[in-house]
Amino acid sequence: MSVNAPRSIDEYLKQLRQALEGQDPALIQDALYDAEEYLRAEVAAHPDKSESDVLELIASTYGAPDEVAAAYRDTEAKVKAALKTPAPRAAHTSGLARFFGVYQDPRAYTSLFYMLLTLATGVVYFTFVVTGLSLSAGFAVLIIGVPFFLAFIGIARVIALGEGRLLEAMTGERMPRRPVHPGPPASWWRRIADMLTDVRTWTTLLYLLIMLPLGIIYFTLAVTGLAVGLRLALAPFVVLSRDFGWLPPGVSLDMIQIDGWHAASPHTLLGSLFYMVFGVVIVTALMHAARGIARGHARLAKALLVVPGA
Amino acid sequence: MDDSQARKFQKDLNAGLVALVLLAVLERTTEDLYGYEIAKRLQKANEGEALFKEGTVYPVLRALAAGGLLTSRVVPSYAGPARRYYRITADGRAMLRQWSDIWRQTRGFVDRFIEGTDS
C-alpha cells in the first residue's frame, strides 16, 4: 500500500477506506472522521507547507492508511469482547427456562421501550421530512431555496446520527458515533449536486418517513400486548379483591375489564388462575417479540442510514 | 535481527501501554484535550523514533470512553470536522492508579533480569 503514498487528505481518506473494506460501516465512518480531524489540524498547523508536503510525513507520524486501519480493527475487536454484556448463559437449556430467560436480558426491556418510543419519534421524523421536502420544493425557485435545502439535509443527517445512537443503546447494533463527514470543501452548487446524487441522502429520508407507519405498528403491538397480557396475568387479584371486598366504593369489576372480554371474565379463583397463566405467556412472548423486532429494525436502520454511504 | 520483528515486539508491548499513557496524560492536565492535541503532546515527549503512530491513539481514546474511563464532548471547529474533547472520569483515575502499580511492578520485575541486578 506504500507503493503510492497519499498526497492529499482526500487520497489518504480514500486509501484508509479501502484498507478498512469489509469492516463494519459504522467503524469505517468513525475511522475516517478521526483521520480527517487529525489531518486537517496537521495541515492547519503548518501554514508554510503545502498539503502534499504535510502528507508526505504523515506515514511516520499518524501512520500509513493500512497501519491505522489495523489499529481500528484490533481495538474494535478487543473493546467489543470486553464491553459485551455477557448473554444470560443458558445453563439449564430446557425450553421453559429459555422462554422465561428473556426476563434476565436487559435488551428485551430496552427493545420494548424502543417500540413504545417509535410512535413519538416516527411522528416527529415524518412531519420533519414532509415539511422540509415541501418547503424545499416551494423555495426552489427563490434564492433561499439552496441554503434551506442544505440545512434540511444537514438536520436530517444529525437526526439519523441520533437515531443510530439510540438504536445502539437499545439493541447493541454497532452504529456510527460521528456524523457523515461532508467531504472536501466545495462550492454550494457542487455540494447540492453531491447531496442529490448521494443514495444515502434519499435512503435517510425514506427511513425517516417509514418510521411513522413502523412506529404505529410497533407501538400498537407493544401496548396491546402489555395491556392484554397484564390484565390476564392480574386476573386472580381482581377476583380476590372483589371477593374480599377490597375494591374501593364506586369501582365495579366491570370497570377494570377489557371490552368484549367482559362476558368471559372469570368469576372463580380457579378460572382466574387459568387466565393468569395465559397472561404471563403473552407478556413473555411479547418480550421475545420485542427483542426480535428491535434487532430486525436495527438492521433495517443500518441498511438505510449507514451502508449506502460506506 | 530483522526490523519487522522489532516492530512487532513494540506493537505487542504497546497494546496496553498506550491506554495507560493516555490516561496519565489526561490526568495531569486541567483542560480537556482533543485527539490531535494529545497525539502532539505524545510526539513532543517522544524524541527520535516514534514508539507508536499517532493514528493508533484515536481508537484507544474511543475505547476508553466507551469503557467509561473518559468522558467526551464535541466542539465545532473552523479548521475541519468537529473535535471531540476528552476528560478523565473518577473511574478512569482509579483505573490509572491500579494500572500504574501494575506497570511499576512489571518494570521492576523485567529490569531485574535485563539489567542483571538480581544476580
Segment A79-88, tens digit of pLDDT: 666 555 555 5
Query: Is B80 near chain A, with CB under 8 Å?
Result: yes
| Alpha-carbon gap, residue A137 to A145, rounded angstroms | 8
Q: Which secondary-structure segment (H or E) carries A8?
A: none
Concatenated DSSP letters for A141-159? TSTTHHHHHHHHHHHHHHH
Give the three cell numbers for residue A15.
486509501
Task: State whether the Cα torsion A245-A250-A251-A255 is positive or negative.
Answer: positive
**A90, A101 Cβ separation under 8 angstroms:** yes
How would you list the strands of the sheet with B70-75, edge to edge? Answer: B33-34, B83-88, B70-75
Interface test with B, best of A9, A79, A158 (most B CBs within 10 A): A79
Interchain CB distance below 8 Å, B60 and A75: yes
Residue scoring higher pLDDT (A309 or A195): A195
Note the pLDDT of residue A107.
Answer: 87
Query: Which residues in chain A are contacts of B54 at CB distance < 8 A?
Result: 38, 61-63
Best of B34, B37, B62 to mutate (most A CBs within 10 Å, chain A)? B62
Given a cut of 90, whether residue A207 has pLDDT beyond it is yes
pLDDT in tens, A226-239: 988 888 888 787 77
First to last CA, chain A: 20
Cα gap A164→A149, rounded to integer Å: 22
Whether B58 and A34 have beta carbons less than 8 Å apart is answered as yes
Distance in angstroms (rounded) separating the CA atoms of residues A84 and A77 = 11
**ipTM metric:** 0.71
* CA separation for the pair A301, A175 (Å, rounded): 9
Check A61 against B43: CB less than 8 A apart: yes
Q: pLDDT value at position A1?
A: 43
Helices and strands (H and E) in chain A: how many = 11, 0
User: Of A90-99, A275-284, B76-85, which gets the smallest average pLDDT?
Assistant: A90-99
> Given this model, what pLDDT does residue A128 score?
95
Q: Do A75 and B39 touch (CB under 8 A)?
A: no
Residue B105 CB contacts under 8 Å (≥ 6 apart), including other chains: none
Residue B29 C-alpha cell reads as 492536565
- Mind listing the pLDDT tens digit for each residue in A49-62? 888 888 887 877 78
Q: What is the CA B5 to chain-centroid distance, rounded?
A: 22
Place of cell 486537517: A40
Q: What is the mean pLDDT of chain A?
A: 80
Q: Which residues of B touch A31 (CB under 8 A)?
A: 58-59
The grid coordinates listed for A261 are 372480554
pTM of the model: 0.58
Residue in the block written with cell 436502520: A301
**Strand ranges (E), B1-119:** 33-34, 70-75, 83-88
Please give the DSSP secondary-structure letter assigned to residue A102: G
B54 vs A: CB within 8 A: yes
| DSSP 8-state assignment for residue B48 | S
Crossing angle of helices A145-171 and A199-233, in 10° steps, is: 40
Secondary structure class of B86 (helix, strand, coil): strand
Q: Is the pLDDT of residue A46 over 70?
A: yes
Structural domain boundaries of chain A?
Answer: 2-83, 113-213
Rounded Cα gap, residues A308 and B5, in angstroms: 40
What is the rounded CA–CA span in Å between residue A152 and residue A132? 6
Min Cα distance B110 → chain A (Å) is 26
- Asked if B55's CB is within 8 angstroms of A67's CB, the reply is yes
Q: How confident is the model at residue A183 (pLDDT cuts 50, 70, 90)?
A: low
Domains and CATH numbers, chain B: 3-114 (1.10.10.10)
pLDDT tens readout for residues A247-268: 666 655 554 555 555 544 556 7
The cell 479501502 sits on which residue? A18
pLDDT level of residue A186 (50, 70, 90 thresholds): low
Establish if B81 touches chain A: CB-CB under 8 angstroms. yes
- What residue of A is the nearest CA neighbor of B75? A37
- Rounded distance between C-alpha atoms, residue A165 and residue B11, angstroms: 32
